[in-house]
Structure 1
Amino acid sequence: MAAPWEVELTHGRIGIRPLRRSDANRWSELRAANGGWLSPWDATLPPEGGQQVTSYRQMISVLRRRARHGEGMPFVSTWDGVMVGQVSVSSIVGGSARSASIGYWVSADHAGRGITPTGVALVCDHLFGTTRLHRVDIAIRPENHPSLAVVRRLGFTDVGLAPRYLHIAGRWADHRLFQLVAEDVQGRVLDRV
């Protein structure tokens, strides 16, 4: 039986599939070409945060190990089958919380095509349906208007400001926290796209 993260989800030209070792070249190309587009939002490690992951090989090893332990689901988003971004599920918790967090990015040349909201919706439907989670969280910098549009479009609830929530670009940055809970979804999250 396949693990919950070893799925391929599609809607039209948009797809979600597991991040693979063979994605190394494409992932590196996308990250290099989109450095300025993504760097204002990318998490960084503070000095006391441990050793920085410096290669794709190290990153995929960490993400796949977390996936095997049920702690995460590393996905890529695709357009016509070609990788154009990433949707990562992290901090999966069972027990009485049954929750997870989602982070995402898409290349600048594919922004505005509905890839991110559709990909996040597909992943949320998978988390609520297949893995039976109760809550999905997304943390967004208050000035990241395109990302704020994604959660608003999908009906996430703004639960407030978290001061100095994540380390971004060398400093602790405020984030708005959003959540979607299973009881608030009538039908599919994908129906909201």
Structure 2
Amino acid sequence: MVRSLRRSDADVWQAVRARNHDWLRPWDATVPPGAAPRPSSYRVVTRSLLRQAKDGLCLPFVVEVGGCFVGQVTVSNVARGSAQWGSIGYWVAADVAGRGVAPRAVAMVIDHCLGPVGLHRLEICVRPENTNSLRVVEKLGLEQVGYAPRFLHIDGAWRDHRIFAITAEEAPEGVVARLSAHQSHQ
């Protein structure tokens, strides 16, 4: 299940992140030298995400399996006007990795954004070394549209990223349906 992030998710979010620190650290954004520090608490992070959501700039979601919090999908940098696009980031706990949770959650968010939210294009940027995330975009049938050298500060350094994108025209039946079709052919 995918649902909106809530302030009340604080304790479980912090517990899952703490348990998965080593699993997530190589892929987590970091602050480059000289930049303002990142928010240090869930409360500050959530307040910022929910404020951005209220302003239509982001859509933060929680991923649950069997009623348990196991990850997050966030659509950020939402641009309206002539662009109608956003950027998707996600993570899941190590104990659910490889079980199809991330692809299904991301597909659900894409369908929601390209449908009711009214976005036209979504991007997912992935480090070339992140084989797990590359497998997610492969399962979803997203096309690589670019390569961005030194794109984001991740795990203490500026890291290259492959850029994948999808538009509403590319998935008229939805990405969940595309994922299901992909899984039935395996």
Smaller-chain TM-score range? over 0.9
Q: Specify the alignment match of 1:150 in structure 2.
A: 136
Determine if the alignment matches structure 1 residue 23 to structure 2 residue 9.
yes
Determine if the alignment matches structure 1 residue 55 to structure 2 residue 17.
no
Determine if the alignment matches structure 1 residue 141 to structure 2 residue 127.
yes
Matches of 2:34 and 2:173, distance apart in 1: 44
Gaps of 5+ in 2: 180-186
AA partner of residue 172 (structure 2): Q
Q: Tell me the secondary structure at the aligned position of residue 133 of structure 1.
A: coil
Deviation of 1:186 (Å): 2.9
Q: Specify the alignment match of 1:36 in structure 2.
A: 22
Determine if the alignment matches structure 1 residue 118 to structure 2 residue 80.
no
Q: Tell me the secondary structure at the aligned position of residue 62 of structure 1.
A: helix
Matches of 2:71 and 2:65, distance apart in 1: 9
Determine if the alignment matches structure 1 residue 72 to structure 2 residue 84.
no
Q: Specify the alignment match of 2:184 in structure 1.
A: none
Cα deviation, 1:3-34, whole Å, max 9, x if unaligned, reads xxxxxxxxxxxx00111111111111111110
Overall identity of the aligned pairs, in %: 51
Matches of 1:170 and 1:117, distance apart in 2: 27
Q: Specify the alignment match of 1:103 in structure 2.
A: 89
Structure 1 ranges of 4+ moved more than 4 A: none
Deviation of 1:161 (Å): 1.4
Q: Specify the alignment match of 1:187 in structure 2.
A: 173
Alignment RMSD (CA, Å): 0.9
TM-score scaled by length of structure 1: 0.90
Matches of 2:135 and 2:37, distance apart in 1: 33
Paired residues in the alignment total 179
Matches of 1:131 and 1:108, distance apart in 2: 30
Matches of 1:164 and 1:80, distance apart in 2: 38
Q: Specify the alignment match of 2:80 in structure 1.
A: 94
Of Structure 1 and Structure 2, the greater helix share is in 2
